Amino acid sequence: AQSVTQLDSQVPVFEEAPVELRCNYSSSVSVYLFWYVQYPNQGLQLLLKYLSGSTLVKGINGFEAEFNKSQTSFHLRKPSVHISDTAEYFCAVSDDGDMRFGAGTRLTVKP
Partner 1 sequence: DAGITQSPRHKVTETGTPVTLRCHQTENHRYMYWYRQDPGHGLRLIHYSYGVKDTDKGEVSDGYSVSRSKTEDFLLTLESATSSQTSVYFCAISEYRVYEQFFGPGTRLTVL
Encoded one letter per residue, x for contact with partner 1 by CB under 8 A and - for no contact, window 9-48 reads x----------------------x-x-x----xxxxxx--
Q: Which helix (H) or strand (E) holds 35?
A: strand 32-38
Contact 11, 23 (CB under 8 A): no
Length of the chain in terms of residues written: 111
Does 103 engage in binding with partner 1 (CB under 8 A)?
yes
* Binding region for partner 1 (CB under 8 A): 4, 9, 32, 34, 36, 41-46, 49, 51, 90, 94-96, 98-99, 101-104
